[in-house]
Amino acid sequence: MQSQCIFATQTPVGPPVEIIRHSFSANAKKTGKRVSLVTGLHGDELEGLYICHRLMGILKEREAQNALQGEVHVYPAANPQALDSGTRLWPFFSVDINRTFGENNTPSLAVDLSKALLADLKSNSDLVVDFHACNLQLMELPQIRIIKDFEKKLVPLAQLCNVDLIWVHPHADIFESTLGTNLNQAKIPTLVIEAGICLRINKTYCEQIILGILNLLEQTGTLQCTEPRTDIKNPKLLQPHQVAMVQSPNAGLFVKSVEIGQALQKGDKIGDLIDSSQKQKEIIAPCSGLLFTLREYPTTGQGAPLARIAIEETS
């Protein structure tokens, strides 16, 4: 393993801000792809940090066994200031680093960091995986989100990653300044994995994704494959019209009655919403399907998401 600092800047007080790339490479002639793993763009999303920690341990062993046929680059802390403070945004500036990629951004320290990261990824990657967790309100099943424009290229790769579902989104301006969109526009296939909830580590989900990334590395020729894996999930492929959103009809306290990952039937109770007048309203599933998003933070406002359901197709 080789480690290199790709960006460094001194802060007024304390240690410098640094982004480190850890690289694992074939000892002989490289025949596989260059795959980069990025996590920590949001400092409160810790699942990816644990996943990269585990993968680096495995890759050290496989590198020593001469099992690498390409290159794997790991960026385990892409936003070190936010990781230190446990916040989604870059502290002091309150900037979302994952909204600073691309050309149309006001110059700032955060933009300098994102430019350096993007340039390094472009120089060292044939394929990128960007790890995320959900915000404090929602729990998510392991999934890969793909913008419609890149569906044809990304879906076959996403199907190797052992996630529960692949969710295809229509294009929207909000994605233009994200790392994933900018890399995909630069013809570098980039998968955005989302799982769990921020400020927590769901070990079951992490181990599921670790298995998927190892399968991805093997199937793309980056890592030697000793024998085909038989324990990789076949994910549901969801188009925008195949996702049902359940929103809060009013402000209140949401108390769930189900667990994420359950197969729901239309009319099943998802939970109760208690409003300020002590009235209790049952929240009902509007359709049958897989519950892949569930609100964990009880306090909710009107229109806030309570659940998402992958609609069960009827024959």
pTM value? 0.93
Handedness of CA 309, 196, 178, 12 (dihedral sign): positive
pLDDT in tens, 26-81: 887 777 899 999 999 999 999 999 999 999 999 999 998 899 999 999 999 999 88
Report the percent of the chain where pLDDT is more than 90: 75
Boundaries of domain holding 257: 241-311
Question: Is 272 found in the same domain as 158?
Answer: no
Question: Is 116 found in the same domain as 63?
Answer: yes
Question: Is 69 found in the same domain as 212?
Answer: yes
Average pLDDT over residues 86-97: 86
Question: Is 171 found in the same domain as 289?
Answer: no
Q: What is the pLDDT of residue 226?
A: 74
pLDDT in tens, 271-288: 999 988 888 999 999 999
Check which CATH number belongs to the domain holding 253 and give it. Answer: 2.40.50.100
Distance between CA atoms of residues 256 and 270, nearest Å: 6
Domain boundary among 192, 212, 237: 237
pLDDT in tens, 216-243: 999 999 998 777 787 899 999 999 999 9
Distance between CA atoms of residues 158 and 165, nearest Å: 9
Q: How many domains, in total, are found in the chain? A: 2
Average pLDDT over residues 263-273: 97
Kindly report the average pLDDT of the chain as a whole number: 92
Question: Is 131 found in the same domain as 11?
Answer: yes
Check which CATH number belongs to the domain holding 36 and give it. Answer: 3.40.630.10
Q: What is the pLDDT of residue 298?
A: 96
- Of residues 9 and 37, which shows the higher confidence score? 37
Average pLDDT over residues 96-106: 85
Question: Is 50 found in the same domain as 109?
Answer: yes
Question: Is 296 found in the same domain as 214?
Answer: no
With a cut of 80, say whether residue 93 has pLDDT above it: no
Q: What is the pLDDT of residue 70?
A: 93
Domain boundary among 237, 265, 293: 237
- Of residues 315 and 224, which shows the higher confidence score? 224
- Of residues 250 and 226, which shows the higher confidence score? 250
Q: What is the pLDDT of residue 172?
A: 76
With a cut of 70, say whether residue 315 has pLDDT above it: no
Q: What is the pLDDT of residue 19?
A: 93
| Element (DSSP H or E) covering residue 185 | helix 179-185
* Confidence tier at 103 by pLDDT (50, 70, 90): confident
Question: Is 275 found in the same domain as 166?
Answer: no
Question: Is 152 found in the same domain as 111?
Answer: yes
Domain boundary among 237, 263, 290: 237
Question: Is 166 found in the same domain as 59?
Answer: yes
With a cut of 80, say whether residue 136 has pLDDT above it: yes
Distance between CA atoms of residues 235 and 194, nearest Å: 14
E-strand stretches of the chain: 2-9, 17-25, 34-38, 71-75, 127-134, 138-147, 165-169, 190-197, 236-238, 243-247, 252-256, 263-264, 269-274, 280-284, 289-295, 299-300, 305-311
Question: Is 293 found in the same domain as 179?
Answer: no
Question: Is 174 found in the same domain as 307?
Answer: no
With a cut of 90, say whether residue 201 has pLDDT above it: yes
